[in-house]
């Protein structure tokens, strides 16, 4: 029988054997390096206005061109990576923590606790998430912290339902009954025995959720109610591209590609984690 270390090695081997997953991980790692070391990839300041070089196409001095204020697009895309990735991780962290709490309580206790919590989840799912976010943002000051909080507080329902389903199955297993027979309390059983066995699907959901949060932040910034200028984000760079689409194609192309490759990388990684964690795929 494999112990935890053997299971971990088997999981890592499956993950690395998938070439698409490795490619997705490489893309994510690249954008992490870009966000952590922006000066290594862009020599210009992202908010430096240069009226002499307004809407210049890509060149040796400005590899991705300039925008309608003469700012270097490469510098803004590079610094925007930090904003977009921060929003994705913090928002998903909030959503995962909230969904984990609701799902564990609902699945473990069942009865009226399950009924109340799941009806609340169903009610939240009745509202289109993006329009719910728009409604909440309309009453708040548009800022990066508000955006992260709102995306997280409106994106936890899927995690809650996933964790509830896993908990309903796990709490009926023999090791939970053995722990209860030894006098373990509910809190110990939940956090020592149930929670560790739900981590694989939670990790998949969180990985895919980062991609969704980045798309949501980009859409909100594109509409002008997300991250506010002059702070660069991929969404508000696209807004400038929309206003100059006829003669400045680079303003839309390059931030759009950054969003595309980042979301694709997270989706590939999430799919790979799901395949590696699925015991039915052990014979592959």
Q: What is the pLDDT of residues 150-195, one digit of tens each?
A: 899 888 999 999 999 999 988 888 888 888 888 888 888 888 888 8
Please report, for the domain that includes residue 167, its CATH number: 1.10.3720.10
pLDDT tens string 125-152: 888 878 878 887 778 777 788 888 889 9
- Enter the pTM of the model: 0.85
Give pLDDT, residue 163.
Answer: 93
Please tell me the predicted confidence (pLDDT) of residue 63: 93
- Can you give the pLDDT at residue 188? 87
Enter the DSSP assignment of 127.
S
Q: Which helix (H) or strand (E) holds 191?
A: none
The residues near 150 (Cβ < 8 Å, ≥ 6 apart) are 133, 136, 137, 140
Checking if the pLDDT of 227 tops 60, the result is yes
Q: Burial code of 124-145, b = ≥16 C-beta within 10 A, e = fewer?
A: beeeebeebbeeebeeeebebe
The answer to whether the bond into 171 is cis (omega within 30° of 0) is no
pLDDT of residue 176: 86
Q: For residue range 19-30, list pLDDT tens digits in order.
A: 778 888 899 999
According to DSSP, residue 57 is labeled: P
Distance between CA atoms of 253 and 257, rounded to whole angstroms? 6
Q: Could you give the angle at which helices 73-109 and 234-243 cross, rounded to 10 degrees?
A: 130
Mean pLDDT of the chain: 85
Percent of residues, the chain, with pLDDT higher than 90: 35
Report whether pLDDT(4) > 50: no
Q: For residue 247, what pLDDT is reported?
A: 84
Q: Reply yes or no on whether the pLDDT at 219 is more than 60.
A: yes
Query: Residues 9-16: what's their mean pLDDT?
Result: 68
Q: CA torsion 272→276→279→280, rounded to 10°?
A: 40
Establish how many alpha carbons lie within 13 A of residue 59's alpha carbon, considering only the half-sphere containing its beta carbon.
10
233 vs 90: CA distance, rounded Å: 16
pLDDT value of residue 102: 94
Domain count, the chain: 1
Range of the domain at 136: 4-281
Dihedral sign computed on CA atoms, order 123, 128, 129, 132? negative
Looking at the predicted structure, is the pLDDT value of residue 2 above 50? Answer: no
Q: Give tens-digit pLDDT for 90-131.
A: 999 999 999 999 999 999 998 899 999 999 999 988 888 788
Q: How far is CA 140 from CA 29, 214, 216, in A?
A: 33, 20, 17
């Amino acid at each position: 029988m494999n112990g935890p270390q053997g299971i971990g090695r088997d999981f890592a081997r499956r993950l690395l054997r998938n070439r698409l997953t490795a490619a997705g991980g490489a893309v994510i790692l690249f954008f992490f390096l870009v966000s952590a070391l922006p000066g290594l990839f862009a020599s210009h300041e992202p908010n430096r206005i240069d009226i002499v070089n307004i809407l210049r196409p890509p060149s040796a001095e400005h590899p991705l061109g300039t925008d309608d204020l003469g700012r270097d697009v490469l510098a803004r895309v590079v610094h925007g990576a930090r904003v977009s990735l921060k929003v994705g991780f913090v928002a998903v962290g909030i959503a995962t923590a909230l969904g984990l709490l609701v799902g564990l309580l609902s699945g473990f206790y069942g009865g009226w606790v399950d009924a109340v919590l799941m009806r609340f989840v169903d009610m939240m799912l009745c509202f289109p998430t993006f329009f719910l976010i728009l409604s909440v943002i309309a009453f708040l000051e548009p800022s990066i912290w508000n955006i992260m909080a709102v995306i997280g507080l409106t994106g936890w329902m899927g995690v809650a339902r996933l964790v509830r389903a896993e908990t309903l199955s796990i709490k009926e297993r023999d090791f939970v009954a053995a722990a209860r027979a030894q006098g373990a309390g509910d809190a110990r059983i939940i956090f020592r025995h149930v929670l560790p066995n739900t981590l694989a699907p939670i990790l998949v959901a969180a990985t895919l959720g980062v991609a969704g949060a980045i798309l949501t932040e980009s859409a909100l910034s594109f509409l002008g109610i997300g991250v506010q200028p002059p702070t660069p984000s991929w969404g508000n760079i696209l807004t400038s591209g929309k206003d100059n689409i006829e003669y400045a194609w680079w303003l839309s192309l390059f931030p759009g590609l950054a969003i595309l490759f980042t979301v694709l990388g997270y989706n590939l990684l999430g799919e790979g984690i799901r395949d590696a964690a699925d015991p039915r795929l052990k014979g592959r």
